[in-house]
Amino acid sequence: MRPIRTGLIGCGKVGQIHAAALRSLPESEFVAACDRSLERAQSLGVAAYTDVPQMLRESGVEAVCLCTPHPLHAESAIAAAQAGVHVLIEKPMAANLADCDAMLAAAKASGITLGVVSQRRLFEPVLRMKAAIDAGKIGRPVLGTMIMLSWRDEAYYASDPWRGKWSTEGGGVLVNQSPHQLDILQWLMGPIEEISGAWGNLNHPYIDVEDTAVATIRFQSGGLGSIVTSLSQRPGIYTKVHIHGSNGASVGVQTDTGATFVAGMSGIAEPPLNDLWTIPGEEHLLTQWEAEDRARFREIDATHHYHRLQIQDFLQAIQQGRTPLVTGAEGRIVVQMFSAIYESSREHRAIRLH
Ligand SMILES: NC(=O)c1ccc[n+]([C@@H]2O[C@H](COP(=O)([O-])OP(=O)(O)OC[C@H]3O[C@@H](n4cnc5c(N)ncnc54)[C@H](O)[C@@H]3O)[C@@H](O)[C@H]2O)c1
């Protein structure tokens, strides 16, 4: 099958990871890059633009990766959809639900494929959890927990003017660092009925947004969940998602060790690992999987590898006329989750998701 003519919008930190994948994947012919900074766009060695509509009109791109700050995603995604160009949007899909709905409507009207990045879904330990749950090995998933104890310092927030402010980032740890695990939690636990939450800024006086949030979830299945997510532990401890089943068995992943990586500033230093597995008869697999996962980690560049896999899935979805691994509807659920926590904190009540 012939490669898809691809482009990149937003050539900053995570944009570099997308560019590397678009340049090397057999499904991609990387032809254009767009950034407000012409120099950044030009540095990628393809046709360079500073204006998204012009790139869509003139470059002949058929699919784009969208790597601008999230409050700006909707404008470029809608322009791409209206030009008939498929779009893979970096997480979070947007900073609010109105933007998600406008993007989904534009994609539906033009029939393009819209996907959202959530590359940690492709971590082998997460795929093992998904397979075990789908196979019914924990009965029904009835309790899900996500805990992120991470760290960001003042230099991180100073690195780009849009970080740490409600108007230009749309939120803090919930919006920027947590979408990966919020997505894994909803992917493994199923549809959410309602969320109660609260947030605070515990030790980052130089930012407006929250560095910490907690929440409880009631799932439509009757299952329960909890979220503790924070950037206030120096130097960062771990991030985990654990799922407990109706038959008493549990599966879990430590997605990140220490602080979560910062694209363009740091890389993934330790492999993601299953840290909990009590399915009867399978307990011994933990040690075997750890050895396998550590061996794989030595062979791949994990900071690039899982992005590359998801971008490849997206391009193959276009070629095969199927839905991508993470759809726009699922990207919207994550935005619903953090929006509900903000609303619940403001109104001191549980928020129903619909
Ligand atoms: N999946 C991941 O692991 C991951 C990691 C890092 C960032 N991200 C997400 O990627 C997005 C970008 O983050 P980043 O850290 O790369 O930010 P960044 O500030 O380093 O890069 C953003 C780039 O977009 C450009 N830009 C802004 N508005 C534009 C416009 N209208 N047209 C063209 N270019 C424009 C900026 O000039 C900049 O180069 C965010 O939504 C973030 O949450 C995801």
Averaged over 190-211, what is the pLDDT? Answer: 98
> Would the CB of 72 count as within 6 Å of ligand 1?
yes
- Residue 289 has a pLDDT of 98
What pLDDT digit, counting tens, does each position of 34-86 carry?
Answer: 999 999 999 999 999 999 999 999 999 999 999 999 999 999 999 999 999 99
Residues in the chain: 354
Q: Which helix (H) or strand (E) holds 230?
A: strand 224-230
Averaged over 245-260, what is the pLDDT? Answer: 97
pLDDT at 265 over 90: no
- CA-nearest residue for atom 38, ligand 1, is 12
- CA-nearest residue for atom 18, ligand 1, is 12
> Would the CB of 91 count as within 6 Å of ligand 1?
yes
**What whole-number distance in Å separates Cα of residue 81 and Cα of residue 352?**
30
> Would the CB of 10 count as within 6 Å of ligand 1?
yes
Q: Tell me, in angstroms, the distance from the centre of ligand 1 to residue 69's CA.
A: 4
Ligand 1, residue 11: give the atom nearest the CA.
Answer: 39
Q: Tell me, in angstroms, the distance from the centre of ligand 1 to residue 92's CA.
A: 11
Ligand 1, residue 176: give the atom nearest the CA.
Answer: 43
Q: Tell me, in angstroms, the distance from the centre of ligand 1 to residue 159's CA.
A: 12
> Would the CB of 37 count as within 6 Å of ligand 1?
yes
In this prediction, residue 1 has a pLDDT band, given cuts at 50, 70 and 90, of confident
> Would the CB of 69 count as within 6 Å of ligand 1?
yes
- CA-nearest residue for atom 37, ligand 1, is 36
The token pair at 74 is 């909707």
Q: What is the dihedral of CA 299, 301, 304, 309, to 10 degrees?
A: 10
pLDDT at 354 over 80: no
Averaged over 272-289, what is the pLDDT? Answer: 97
Tell me, what amino acid is at 111?
G
Closest CA to 149 of 218, 90, 74, 236: 236
Eight-class DSSP state of 71: G
- Residue 113 has a pLDDT of 98
What pLDDT digit, counting tens, does each position of 102-127 carry?
Answer: 999 999 999 999 999 999 999 999 99
Q: Tell me, in angstroms, the distance from the centre of ligand 1 to residue 286's CA.
A: 36
pLDDT at 244 over 90: yes
- CA-nearest residue for atom 33, ligand 1, is 35
Tell me the pTM. Answer: 0.98
Mean pLDDT of the chain: 97
